[in-house]
């Protein structure tokens, strides 16, 4: 085999892995599937890579190299451009939309990489590679708009909103709502009044109107759904099998298979339980919000988020909804009902101000949602302190 053909098969294997992350995520990526997609024998994978884990790390590095090239080309297009903060919103929205729709396979690769629980330094460096890429990008972009000292805010809002934008509802409204979100980001970073957001207000109202009915399961099916949700939280959708659910729920395989016959039905029930559990836990955490207990509330929130930093449930749900039209009943709610709890937090932090609108609540929700992923590789104590520090920094802008 020539050096050129070796490099060709090596790169095809890496690119095939990236493509499979877009198509179906970690659940779809196996040595056999990669070899089929790359048109190479399975033995070729183990010739180039010591293990699938090493393949995943190197495929993530390849995806980061592609993303870095894209981001650098985007910044190159700004050569000679320098403006005030009023220029930022349009660039922020366009960057998210172009990333999600023009670089969709890389968008999925990034999110799958955040879920890969590869231990040790290779895994940490793999995940932090994405952070370093976007930190550098947003620092330069913000510098050009006179917002260099606010780049960390932009980076965290980009981290979460570019995830939410992967969920399609109605393209025209999603895009208009993204523009409104970006104008809100700009207002937040500059201390300007929050602008109106009629597109997002409409989407919020539609999300309330179309909210799925909470499933009414019998006791056995509820146990199965809870077991499936726990497996999703721990290891993502790939961990959900009838046998694994039966063991977790302390039921026989026959009972689980009778109640929910297919893996798709198991995942549907599991995702429903993940969604409801996430909403319930957050509401419980903030149910006693009071201006007189602000510090205690924020300490509790930082603790809650640091404990959730390695949980995969909601992350897996977002990815599944972004891929699978049959799960779109969750999509509208995940994208546009964010901020109910954040609205209460904002009222607590600013008791002398008017009730915040849906846009500002969504901004706070987006910022907070990014923090567990940012600190997933920190020690729990460090994660809690750094999350609280980020919250305090955000509060200083309100």
- Give the pLDDT confidence score for residue 3 in this predicted structure: 45
State the pTM of this model. 0.90
Between the alpha carbon of residue 364 and those of residues 274, 304, 327, 370, 394, the distances in Å are 22, 16, 26, 10, 9
- Give the pLDDT confidence score for residue 290 in this predicted structure: 63
Which tens digits make up the pLDDT trace of 127-172? 999 999 999 999 999 999 999 999 999 999 999 999 999 999 999 9
Burial 211-234 (b: 16+ CB within 10 A, else e): eeeeeebeeebebbbbbbbbbbbe
- What are the structural domains of the chain? 74-195 (no CATH), 219-395 (1.10.357.10)
Between the alpha carbon of residue 70 and those of residues 18, 87, 133, the distances in Å are 16, 21, 11
- Give the pLDDT confidence score for residue 7 in this predicted structure: 57
Task: Give every residue of the chain whose pLDDT is below 70, as ranges.
Answer: 1-7, 212-214, 281-292, 329
Angle at 111 between CA 389 and CA 261, to 5 degrees: 120
- Give the pLDDT confidence score for residue 59 in this predicted structure: 97
Which tens digits make up the pLDDT trace of 44-54? 999 999 999 99
- Give the pLDDT confidence score for residue 289 in this predicted structure: 60
- Give the pLDDT confidence score for residue 291 in this predicted structure: 61
């Amino acid at each position: 085999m020539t050096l050129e053909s070796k490099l060709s098969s090596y790169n095809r294997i890496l690119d095939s892995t990236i493509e499979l992350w877009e198509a179906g995520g970690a659940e779809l990526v196996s040595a056999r599937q990669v070899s089929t997609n790359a048109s190479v024998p399975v033995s070729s994978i183990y010739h180039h890579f010591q293990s699938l884990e090493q393949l995943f790390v190197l495929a993530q590095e390849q995806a980061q190299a592609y993303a870095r090239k894209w981001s650098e080309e985007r910044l190159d297009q700004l050569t000679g451009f320098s403006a005030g903060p009023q220029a930022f919103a349009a660039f922020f929205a366009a960057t998210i939309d172009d990333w999600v729709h023009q670089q969709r396979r890389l968008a999925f690769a990034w999110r799958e990489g955040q879920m890969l629980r590869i231990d040790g330094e290779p895994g940490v460096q793999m995940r932090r590679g994405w952070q370093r890429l976007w930190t550098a990008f947003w620092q330069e972009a913000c510098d050009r708009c006179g917002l260099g000292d606010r780049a960390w805010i932009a980076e965290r809002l980009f981290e979460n909103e570019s995830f939410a934008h992967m969920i399609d509802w109605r393209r025209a409204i999603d895009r208009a709502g993204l523009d409104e979100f970006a104008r809100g980001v700009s207002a937040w970073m500059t201390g300007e009044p929050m602008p109106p957001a009629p597109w997002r207000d409409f989407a919020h109202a539609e999300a309330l109107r179309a909210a799925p009915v909470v499933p009414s399961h019998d006791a056995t099916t509820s146990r199965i759904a809870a077991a499936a949700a726990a497996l999703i939280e721990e290891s993502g959708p790939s961990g959900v099998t009838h046998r694994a659910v039966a063991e977790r729920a302390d039921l026989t395989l026959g009972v689980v298979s009778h109640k929910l016959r297919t893996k798709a039905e198991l995942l549907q029930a599991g995702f429903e339980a993940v969604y409801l559990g996430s909403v319930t836990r957050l509401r419980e955490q903030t149910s006693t919000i009071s201006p007189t207990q602000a510090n205690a509330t924020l300490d509790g929130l930082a603790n809650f988020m640091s404990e959730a930093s390695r949980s995969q449930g909601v992350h897996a749900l977002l990815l599944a909804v972004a891929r699978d039209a049959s799960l779109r009943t969750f999509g509208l709610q995940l994208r546009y009902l964010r901020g109910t709890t954040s609205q209460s937090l904002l009222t607590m932090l600013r008791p002398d101000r008017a009730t915040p609108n849906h846009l500002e609540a969504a901004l706070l929700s987006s910022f907070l949602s990014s923090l567990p992923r940012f600190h997933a590789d920190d020690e729990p104590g460090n994660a809690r302190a750094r999350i609280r520090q980020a919250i305090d920094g955000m509060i200083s802008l309100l």
